[in-house]
């Protein structure tokens, strides 16, 4: 029998913690019964196109992280020089988030995705041909600006095709796009790196992404109305939204700033800062750390994907749990997973004695990190401000949070500049501290959300004369 939503049943806690893939997919089908066949057809196309698109962004972003030590050896650069190259990308990416979230809100997600992914494909291939430090820096800056279009464009691309009651579970699966993209980079890119060298890794991944761009062009549309269908999200009232802003198709710069400077949005961004610090630290440095401990570069790339596989499971579990168990209360779920991050890093520090055991414990960290990562940048961004403003909030939150990857790249590069073993120990202690910071910030977020909703209820009651 199809399990009903938590709001409508008296199921036990254990029943809600256990769900099979069949139950989930059948749940989607049941949710779609109120849609027309054309709406269902187009919605699946949108999900697949945007899923593949953001995975494609990772194919043209992450080759550098698995090729670091090979590039370092070829050009005889030190660890900080390698870190500076990625930092140039991260700075451009952070700045680009604010620009792209505004452009996406003004011109629509489709234009943002097609333009950004196209530029990323070209720049990533050019990185495979680079021969100087200055060239790497310049291309990384352009890449960062183009890559910034990806997440706000992808979130905005599905926002108007999902209704609130299904958003958490479906976006939990949909948000795994970047986990899948990361894994493809590590396996396909790692294979090319091992067989042909780092230059082929860059060029090969760009060639693969060209097919994704064509799929996006053919299948993606911003709204059901763009293909002559009735809207899927019918209710555009402010009920349940903590951030209230203009719902116009296009917004002015002043209206965008009203969203960007909202205290709740900024608090989300600061909380997400800790998550991106942790995720990018592991994305960027885990293959190198395993290599430093004795694994060859190919095995280090493969073993580091344990973090991503576990993250994939964590993202899906978080999406299901936020709808079925936490009743949409994403902040409380993030707090619980923050406690899990702390546990994971304690295991890494005290039980990760070998490269293999370290990789396994980082899998636990990945499970706990990717859940909040997908929620804060996906379903939560749409939930707090509505479907139309989801593209803006996703970009703003991601932009503030993107300062974290910039800091981690330079700090970790500095920590391991001399004694690598000591630097790795200090890096893990720093990551533990960031996990604690995130968990505390989630307590602040829970309080802010409750206070904001109470204020809105009071204001609405006065406006209605009750």
| Radius of gyration over every alpha carbon of the chain, rounded to an integer in angstroms | 22
Q: How far apart are CA 137 and CA 352, in angstroms?
A: 35
Distances 437 to 178, 341, 442, 443 between C-alpha atoms, Å? 24, 11, 9, 10
Q: Is residue 171 part of a domain?
A: yes
Give the tens place of pLDDT for each residue, 252-309: 777 778 777 888 888 888 899 999 899 888 877 777 777 777 777 777 777 777 887 8
For residue 27, is pLDDT > 60? Answer: no
Give me the half-sphere count of Cα atoms (radius 13 Å) on the Cβ side of residue 249.
6
Q: Is residue 26 part of a domain?
A: no
Q: Is residue 207 part of a domain?
A: yes
Who has greater pLDDT, 233 or 85?
85
Q: Is residue 240 part of a domain?
A: no
Predicted pLDDT of residue 211: 96
For residue 143, is pLDDT > 90? Answer: yes
Q: Is residue 2 part of a domain?
A: no
For residue 137, is pLDDT > 90? Answer: yes
For residue 247, is pLDDT > 70? Answer: no
For residue 242, is pLDDT > 70? Answer: no
Domain interval for residue 386: 53-224+253-446
- The reported pTM is 0.74
For residue 8, is pLDDT > 50? Answer: no
Those residues with Cβ within 8 angstroms of residue 307's Cβ, 6 or more apart along the chain or in another chain:
282, 286, 359, 362, 363, 365, 366
Q: What is the CATH number of the domain that holds 109?
A: 1.20.1250.20
Q: Is residue 201 part of a domain?
A: yes
Q: Is residue 416 part of a domain?
A: yes
Count of structural domains, the chain: 1
Give the tens place of pLDDT for each residue, 70-112: 898 889 888 778 888 988 998 899 899 888 888 887 888 999 9
Those residues with Cβ within 8 angstroms of residue 311's Cβ, 6 or more apart along the chain or in another chain:
179, 366, 367, 369, 370, 373
Q: Which helix (H) or strand (E) holds 438?
A: helix 420-463
Q: Is residue 20 part of a domain?
A: no
């Amino acid at each position: 029998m199809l399990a009903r939503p938590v709001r409508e049943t008296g199921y036990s806690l254990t029943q809600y913690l256990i769900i099979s893939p069949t139950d989930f997919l059948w749940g989607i089908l049941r949710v779609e019964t109120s849609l027309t066949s054309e709406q269902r057809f187009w919605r699946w196309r949108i999900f697949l196109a945007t899923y593949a698109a953001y995975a494609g962004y990772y194919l043209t972003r992450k080759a550098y992280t698995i090729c670091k030590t090979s590039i370092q050896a070829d050009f005889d650069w030190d660890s900080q020089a390698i870190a500076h190259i990625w930092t140039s990308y991260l700075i451009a990416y952070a700045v680009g988030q604010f620009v792209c979230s505004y452009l996406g809100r003004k011109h629509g997600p489709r234009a943002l995705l097609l333009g950004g992914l196209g530029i990323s494909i070209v720049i990533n291939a050019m990185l495979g041909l680079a021969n100087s430090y200055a060239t790497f820096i310049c291309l990384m800056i352009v890449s960062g600006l183009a890559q910034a279009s990806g997440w706000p464009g992808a979130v905005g691309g599905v926002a108007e095709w999902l209704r609130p009651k299904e958003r958490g579970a479906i976006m939990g699966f949909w948000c795994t796009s970047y986990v899948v993209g990361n894994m493809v980079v590590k396996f396909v890119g790692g294979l090319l790196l091992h067989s042909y060298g780092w230059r082929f890794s860059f060029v090969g991944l760009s060639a693969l992404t060209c097919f994704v761009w064509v799929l996006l062009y053919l299948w993606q549309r911003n709204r059901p109305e763009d293909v002559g269908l009735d809207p899927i999200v019918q209710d555009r009232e402010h009920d349940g939204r903590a951030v209230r802003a203009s719902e116009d198709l296009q917004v002015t710069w002043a209206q965008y700033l009203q969203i960007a400077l909202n205290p709740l949005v900024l608090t989300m961004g600061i909380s997400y800062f800790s998550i991106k610090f942790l995720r990018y630290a592991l994305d960027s440095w885990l293959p190198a750390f395993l290599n430093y401990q004795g694994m060859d570069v190919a095995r280090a790339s493969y073993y580091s994907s344990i973090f991503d596989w576990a993250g994939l499971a964590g993202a899906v579990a978080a999406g299901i749990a936020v709808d079925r168990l936490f009743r949409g209360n994403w902040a409380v779920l993030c707090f619980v997973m923050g406690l899990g991050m702390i546990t994971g890093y304690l295991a890494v520090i005290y039980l990760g004695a070998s490269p293999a055991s370290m990789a396994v414990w980082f899998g636990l960290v990945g499970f706990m990190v990717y859940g909040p990562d997908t929620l804060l940048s996906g379903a939560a961004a749409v939930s707090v401000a509505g479907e139309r403003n989801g593209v803006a909030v996703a970009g703003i939150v991601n932009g503030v949070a993107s300062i974290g990857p910039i800091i981690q790249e330079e700090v970790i590069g500095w920590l391991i500049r001399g004694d690598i073993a000591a630097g790795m120990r200090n890096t893990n202690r720093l990551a533990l501290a960031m996990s604690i910071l995130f968990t505390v910030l989630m307590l602040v977020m829970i309080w802010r959300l409750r206070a904001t909703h109470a204020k809105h209820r009071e204001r609405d009651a006065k406006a209605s004369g009750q």
